[in-house]
Chain A
């Protein structure tokens, strides 16, 4: 401190000037940016182009591949696309090299890498791979896409559960447990009541119960949320395994639910390629078509979403405007459980028609990954889940037609593709600021 006379010694006279006299402050802070060139993308493209060169040109195979585009019942029957393997490989590698060059140029001249570039690169690579792997065979594209949607469904439900919960500030590692318990109780309740609808409700309720355990420990007792989640996953695996071997195996009637009927949507179901892929599913899948955009809209356009995001970003600030942070967190985590539980029902009421031990096979963790890769955004998380679903479908399809790649490698494919896509795509990814942090009131 100092004795220097304050300039505002005759303060009222000095400070009564109208604030309008001050210069406008409406500007935002923008610091100068250094030119930083990120060579990650072009280098990855170059490496992948080399891989493509070796695989599709050097190790090319003879013959040609038939891509079947039509399916039964299309209103116009598209002809099969017959692609010669070697020529396709050469064309694609040239295109990939061109894209690599474009990417290099973009980085060198400090321009933005658009969204289209990795997308085009990925599509080209996949087409070349399909053609190469399917030499002299026929690949049913509608079937591949149908399987993609189907395999993505539980992932997308799980990811939506993750998005809701984490946006509210509670880390949801327990997606796996929510899916698995949903699958189990869906099967049992639908079998014992004979009603698939009750089965679905039961699955959601099971997800909610798992969520509530998570919520109570995380919100009420401030237990580290990752640990609670992992413990719940292990617990539900153990519990369902036990009930499966001790109850379900002895009473098969408890584990034979009526599967939900496929309901083709009249009219649009006959559109070639996408009709059969999207519009010949069960109600669970149609529910997903509705739930995803509703969550996306709700999160960013409604009071519910505003408050949900507020408590996940800065709970104290939310508290100071009268929002009951912990109560709101609790109910939203419960809601997340309901959504993920519905995804669980898909396993037993849609695909398999019976519960099996550990049938979710770690997909809950993939859903969690989709949440993060999707930057906590419902639509982007859905895209990430679809990518994984596509990779799985590819693996199944190629396995069925007999691919030249050993099946062990093919099983890795979904994970490898997801990893590559993430490494290439991922931008500034920022978790909700208060995710994982309990809110403790004085």
Chain B
């Protein structure tokens, strides 16, 4: 279908001059935005641009310092989300606002017990809305037992059960497979055609171009302008980032070396005895990047943690150049030459209150070159830190700056500088660019490729298909703890998407060495 010019009428929703500060940080700086009924309005911006903050102001979760909100021309003042909801604003939050131990119907009922007429009314409502959109959602299923894709539908049902006329989707596709993303877009289009005003927040250009009727780009808390849905990806990217950006990962064909990580029949159990990693086998050779794709929570985290020695109920074999890693302590694994970028740098990668210099030597507190006779050689440490600050382009006042105060991109550079600072035999990076700005993403990617070109086996776990396709020499797709298949990097997105949903796709070869997949 063609993008019809939106039926011009008064905007349903108008935000005027919204300003929101967190301490010294101005997350929203006089933002104007208008959304009309029957349009999908994309709010495009990098991580940290202030999109979620703006929407939380709209939803009454945050109070703006300045600015006003108008609905159908009427100024509104929302004391809390309750007011916003009553005014007809619904929101599908980036981090789902569902109570995991409640059922679907209970989540829909919560806060609207009277209007919905109790639990049976809520069940009825869930069925009605599911019917309308072709969802298959059981009103009595517990949220924590549902896959994320279905949980998101529950969020949508929640919003629709309140007859929202403005519906905000905050980064809804981050947790979805490509096919689920397509389904979501179809839902948004159906809602638009029924006359809902939709705000769609994302930083993924592909999606914006696919579905937007209008686009507003924000950068560093300010509106930088409107863009047409016909703009090219490059145009949108440079608007979003503020400079021309390189969207391709530059790399040469892999030159394989004899270094190898051979994982065979690896199974990891969680505390409940569930196989979070289920009989996984693969090989990574020096000089190649094996990307592990999949929707979040399908065992990727546990797999990387097992390699590092952080998981305890592990069977099978993890062989790095002839050295069995299972049973080794983390210390021994690191000494064997494993570099590791954890998926949550703030929790597992860094000590926020420590300085950059201290964080850079966290892995080498037990001996030369930084520790002599039990005391830290500060001169040596500071020399090393200053050198890394320079070579990794870490933007900070100095090596004494606490890493907690750095931006995400600079924090990740500290992690990389430390992990790549040792002689490596294997490099494992989990979600290495999550939440980073485009500049930092480029930097991280170039470091990963440089590591690969140095002849080191590299494993990258990523839920972003763009990143997987850009970095990988081969792609392993994980689903429910098993590897669905290992495929070449030029496999189509559709195929990868199906594999991410657990389908073994014709044409996708079986994972080598031979077994390792789950039925």
A→B interface (CB under 8 Å): 1-4, 6-8, 11-20, 22, 24-36, 303, 306-307, 309-310, 313-314, 316-324, 428, 433, 442
Contact = CB atoms under 8 A, between A and B. Distances in A.
A33 B274 contact: yes
Given A1-B467, A318-B111, A320-B97, A31 B275 contact: yes
Nearest to B149: A25
A198 B131 CA distance: 57
Interface in B43-89: 56, 59, 61-63, 80-83, 85-86
Given A2-B469, A22-B183, A313-B100, A16 B150 contact: no
A429 to B, nearest CB: 12
B492 interface: yes
B1 A13 contact: yes
Contacts of A6: 206, 209-210, 233, 493
Contacts of A318: 99, 110-111
B33 interface: no
Contact of A313 (B59, B99, B109): B99
Interface centre among A7, A19, A26, A316 (most CB of B within 10 A): A19
A11 B112 contact: no
Contact of A26 (B59, B61, B136, B211): B136
Residue of A4, A36, A319, A322 ringed by the most chain B CB atoms within 10 A: A322
A28 B146 contact: yes
Contacts of B141: 26, 28
A32 B61 contact: no
A226 B447 CA distance: 47
Given A1-B470, A28-B141, A15 B189 contact: yes
A165 to B, nearest CB: 18
A442 B237 CA distance: 31
A318 B182 CA distance: 30
Contacts of B245: 1
B99 A2 contact: no
Interface residues of B, number: 85
B211 A11 contact: yes
B515 interface: no
Contact of B100 (A12, A30, A316, A433): A433
A351 to B, nearest CB: 38
A317 B136 contact: no
B189 A29 contact: no
A320 B81 CA distance: 5
A33 B271 CA distance: 11
A136 to B, nearest CB: 51
A20 B274 contact: no
Contacts of A36: 269, 273
A321 B81 contact: yes
B466 interface: yes
Given A11-B210, A303-B113, A322-B111, A32 B182 contact: no
A16 B186 contact: yes
Given A19-B187, A319-B81, 19 more contacts: A1-B249, A2-B248, A3-B248, A8-B210, A12-B1, A12-B211, A15-B182, A17-B182, A22-B183, A25-B137, A30-B145, A33-B274, A303-B113, A310-B99, A314-B98, A317-B98, A317-B110, A320-B61, A322-B111
Contacts of B136: 24-26
27 contacts: A8-B182, A13-B1, A14-B182, A15-B182, A15-B211, A16-B1, A16-B186, A20-B134, A22-B180, A25-B150, A26-B136, A26-B141, A28-B142, A32-B480, A309-B102, A310-B99, A313-B99, A313-B101, A314-B97, A314-B98, A317-B96, A318-B110, A319-B81, A321-B158, A322-B80, A323-B111, A433-B101
Which 9 A-B pairs rank lowest in CB-CB distance, beginning with the nearest?
A322-B82, A11-B210, A321-B111, A20-B134, A26-B136, A36-B273, A28-B145, A317-B97, A2-B470
B210 A22 contact: no
Contacts of A14: 182, 210
Interface in B400-453: 438, 441
A317 B274 CA distance: 28
A379 B80 CA distance: 36
Nearest to B53: A442
B133 interface: yes
Nearest to B62: A442
Contact of A1 (B93, B247, B278): B247
Contacts of A307: 110-111
Nearest to A37: B273
Contacts of A433: 100-101
- Choose among B91, B111, B274 the residue with the greatest number of A CB atoms under 10 Å from its CB: B111
A8 B211 CA distance: 10
B102 to A, nearest CB: 7
A428 B272 CA distance: 9
Nearest to B470: A2
Nearest to A434: B99
B368 interface: no
Interface string B221-261: 00000000000010001000000010111000000000000
B99 A317 contact: yes
A34 B274 CA distance: 6
B3 interface: yes
B311 interface: no
Contact of B147 (A2, A3, A25, A310): A25
Contacts of B274: 31-34
Contacts of B145: 28-30
Nearest to B145: A28
B106 A306 contact: yes
A32 B1 contact: no
A17 B106 contact: no
A355 B273 CA distance: 52
Contacts of B56: 442
B262 interface: no
A316 B98 CA distance: 9
